[in-house]
Amino acid sequence: MTSAFRRSSGLPRGLEWQDKLSSLYLLPSGIVSGEQAAAAVISGNGWPIADGQLAFTAGAVLLRDGAQTWLAMASYSELVDWANSEGEEVARHMGQLVRRMGARRPDWAGLALDRPVIMGIVNTTPDSFSDGGKNLDPQTAIDHAFAMVEAGARIIDVGGESTRPGAAAVPHDEELARVLPVIRALAEKDVVVSIDTRHAAVMGPAVEAGARIINDVTALEGEGALEVAARSGAAVCLMHMQGEPQTMQADPAYVCAPLDIYDTLAARIVACEAAGIPRAKIATDPGIGFGKTVDHNAQLFASLALYHGLGCPILLGASRKSVIAKMSKGEGPGDRLPGTLAAHLSGLDAGAQIIRVHDVVETVQAVKVWLSIRSAS
Ligand code: 9MG
């Protein structure tokens, strides 16, 4: 695996900042929790992340320069001194970033984000990469979803069109016929449902049927999607994808994957706000496996905390994806649970609030152990 960044010997100093601020990013590191987080913040050696249960005590300043991104590490207090010594513009830019990182995240779709939210996957499709065909019958899908809720899932993500690499498009009425009975049955019992779709024509009826979240792998780029999502009042998840499912894995290319994706998500948040979707309703997702090589995915896992700078909850979805097998020894989708857990727990360490999974029982156990350890720190 290769890093997305090049090591710099020190923090960037004395630059003409006014034309460089948009190339300046902060990747929080040295993330601690519980009493350690509180002690770091009180002593001025750290800053809270999202809800105050986590704090970062150091950070990487990332500076893009053409095709290269330079990385300089510093402790939190060195970062503060540095930002203040580089002039008003840098202090303001860094101040906005850390304020966004530290702001408490309000409930999302009515869910408190003070402990990890597990989103269970129900694909009512014949061709999804891992569970394709298993939940095509609505009653089977509904039973499976209730079992996931019983096991601890707090959201059920219902999809009626596969977005796996190479998947074919499905007519909207077919997609609706697959998802609506499942959404209705779950919503009737007050289950929080997200509709996994990239089509405005599906989003509207799905929300009317009771879905509280629109999970769109194209970050509401499709025709009419922003308007429908805004009108619906639903929470949204903006996921990053490069290209189209048919071809996205052909030759994914970035100047710097973590930062290119950060910029795209930032622009989509601005578009949402302009359309009337408040930031409080938005979650962001770097889109593991969607138009990314193994190196790109590894870089995203390693820099996930960067996305706290967008000021929204982070959703991470690595469940059973081919990247897990590519990082290991080529296991089939049904044998990727251990790698999936490792990837998701690393996401929780970075402060991700929501994880999207197939295997709820096993994930709940892993998260409970993770929480016990975290709450002792
Ligand atoms: C629908 N879908 C498939 N993979 C996903 C991921 O990683 N994140 C989100 N939000 N949705 C996904």
Retrieve residue 150's tokens: 């019983």
- 74: region left, alpha or beta (phi > 0 left; psi from -120 to 50 alpha): beta
- Catalytic annotation on 321? yes
Question: Which amino acid residue places its CA nearest to atom 2 of ligand 1?
Answer: 217
Ligand 1 nearest atom to the CA of residue 196, by list position: 1
**How many angstroms is it from 196 CA to the middle of ligand 1?**
8
Q: Is 215 close to ligand 1, i.e. is its CB under 6 Å away? A: yes
**How many angstroms is it from 287 CA to the middle of ligand 1?**
6
Q: Pick from 272, 211, 263: which is nearest to 238 by CA?
A: 272
Q: Is 312 close to ligand 1, i.e. is its CB under 6 Å away? A: no
Tell me the C-alpha to C-alpha distance, in Å, between residue 67 and each of 151, 263, 365: 46, 15, 42
Q: Which pLDDT value is given to residue 222?
A: 97
Question: Which amino acid residue places its CA nearest to atom 6 of ligand 1?
Answer: 317
Ligand 1 nearest atom to the CA of residue 237, by list position: 10
Q: Is 233 exposed, middle or buried (0-12, 13-18, 19+ CB in 10 A)?
A: exposed
Ligand 1 nearest atom to the CA of residue 321, by list position: 4
Q: Is 217 close to ligand 1, i.e. is its CB under 6 Å away? A: yes
| DSSP type of residue 353 | -
Cβ neighbour number for residue 150 with a 10 Å cutoff: 10
Retrieve residue 6's tokens: 């090049």
Q: Which pLDDT value is given to residue 250?
A: 82
73 DSSP β-pair partners: 60
Ligand 1 nearest atom to the CA of residue 287, by list position: 7
Q: Is 356 close to ligand 1, i.e. is its CB under 6 Å away? A: yes
**How many angstroms is it from 288 CA to the middle of ligand 1?**
8
Question: Which amino acid residue places its CA nearest to atom 7 of ligand 1?
Answer: 317
Q: Which listed residue (198, 268, 356, 374) is catalytic?
A: 356
> 158: which residues sit within 8 A by CB, 6+ positions away?
122, 124, 141, 145, 179, 182, 183, 186, 193, 194, 195, 196, 206, 211
- Catalytic annotation on 134? no
Please tell me the distance from the alpha carbon of residue 117 to that of residue 152, in angstroms, as a whole number.
9
pTM: 0.97
Supply φ then ψ for residue 314, to 5 degrees. Answer: -105, 130
Q: Whose structure tokens read 């979707």?
A: 277
**How many angstroms is it from 128 CA to the middle of ligand 1?**
12
Domains along the sequence of the chain with CATH? 6-102 (no CATH), 117-375 (3.20.20.20)
Q: Is 285 close to ligand 1, i.e. is its CB under 6 Å away? A: yes
Per-residue confidence of the chain (377 residues) as pLDDT tens digits?
A: 899 999 999 999 999 999 999 999 999 999 999 999 999 999 999 999 997 789 999 999 999 999 999 999 999 999 999 999 999 999 999 999 999 999 999 999 999 999 999 999 999 998 777 777 888 899 999 999 999 999 999 999 999 999 887 788 899 999 999 999 999 999 999 999 999 999 999 999 999 999 999 999 999 999 999 999 999 999 999 999 998 888 888 889 999 999 999 999 999 999 999 999 999 999 999 999 999 999 999 999 999 999 999 999 999 999 999 999 999 999 999 999 999 999 999 999 999 999 999 999 999 999 999 999 999 98
Q: Which listed residue (321, 329, 368, 374) is catalytic?
A: 321
First to last CA, the chain: 31
**How many angstroms is it from 343 CA to the middle of ligand 1?**
14
Strands (E), the chain: 6-7, 24-33, 47-49, 54-65, 68-75, 117-123, 155-159, 193-196, 213-216, 235-239, 282-285, 315-316, 354-357
